[in-house]
Amino acid sequence: MTRHSTDREAGLVEQYLEESLGLGIESLEKGREHARAAGLPPIEVSAGQGKLLQLLAEMIGARRVLEIGTLGGYSTSWLALGAGAAGTVITCEFEPLHASVARENLERSGLADRVQIKLGAAEGTLDSLIAKRTEAFDLVFIDADKRNNVRYLERALKLSHPGTVLVLDNVVRGGAILDDPAKLGNQEADVRGVQESLAWLRENPRVSATALQTLGAKGWDGFAIARVL
């Protein structure tokens, strides 16, 4: 699917909204710059989306937050702000470099004391948390390899309680979810993973879910948001 020519305008609108609402936090923005300098890909959430994660955490009074996919710690920082000084964020990251950069950024922003970075494959980390009967989480943000979305959702559900909010990022894939995954080449597994995760949310009787597409500087993106029943 060809991206619309409105991407540039959408990016300008996104920038305008962020500036109008004063969403930029200096320490977090410096963290993004540090991540770029370290060679991390520029695929983190926007400031507006980060603020949404913070607000969701605050609205439900989340004190225990689980994140799958740390990258440079940008979304982690917003979640930590939402969880508050008494809260805890456990975040899963596979790449050692990403985890190292995230630790540095969290230290810079004064949020390191409320975040635990679990290095390694997320499935293994989640299985370990389940085996240890870890206290349930109030909010779960999934933003990792899309081909494993359903595996992450299945485990997140086991780590949830009634009322837990599940947030799944990148559910539009530049509009590619409308296409036949077999025709997408390198995107095939990720697009299929998103499609399968949306079907999982629809069919699972323990969750109530919706999804919204967002158009920002990176083109179509989108969140799926669910509440555990």
What letter does residue 5 receive in the DSSP assignment? T
Enumerate the β-bridge partners of residue 69.
none
**pLDDT per residue as tens, the chain (229 positions):** 444 446 678 788 889 999 999 999 999 999 999 999 999 999 999 999 999 999 999 999 999 999 999 999 999 999 999 999 999 999 999 999 999 999 999 999 999 999 999 999 999 999 999 999 999 999 999 999 999 999 999 999 999 999 999 999 999 877 788 877 666 666 688 889 999 999 999 999 999 999 998 877 766 689 999 999 9
Q: How many helices (H) and strands (E) does the chain have?
A: 8, 9
The pLDDT value given to residue 10: 79
CB 114 within 8 A of CB 88: yes
From first CA to last CA, the distance across the chain in angstroms is 36
**Stretch (H or E) spanning 160:** strand 160-169
Q: Which has the closest alpha carbon to 119: 100, 141, 106, 144?
A: 100
Cα-based torsion angle of the residue sequence 131, 160, 73, 46 in order, rounded to the nearest 10 degrees: 150
**How far apart are the C-alpha atoms of 13 and 83, rounded to whole Å?**
29
The pLDDT value given to residue 72: 98
Enumerate the β-bridge partners of residue 14.
none
The pLDDT value given to residue 186: 60
The pLDDT value given to residue 1: 43
71's torsion region: left (phi>0), alpha (psi -120 to 50) or beta?
left
**How far apart are the C-alpha atoms of 64 and 136, rounded to whole Å?**
8
**How far apart are the C-alpha atoms of 2 and 190, rounded to whole Å?**
18
pTM confidence score: 0.93
The pLDDT value given to residue 59: 98
CB 96 within 8 A of CB 120: no
The pLDDT value given to residue 173: 78
Q: CATH for 7-228? A: 3.40.50.150
Give residue limits of the domains in the chain.
Answer: 7-228
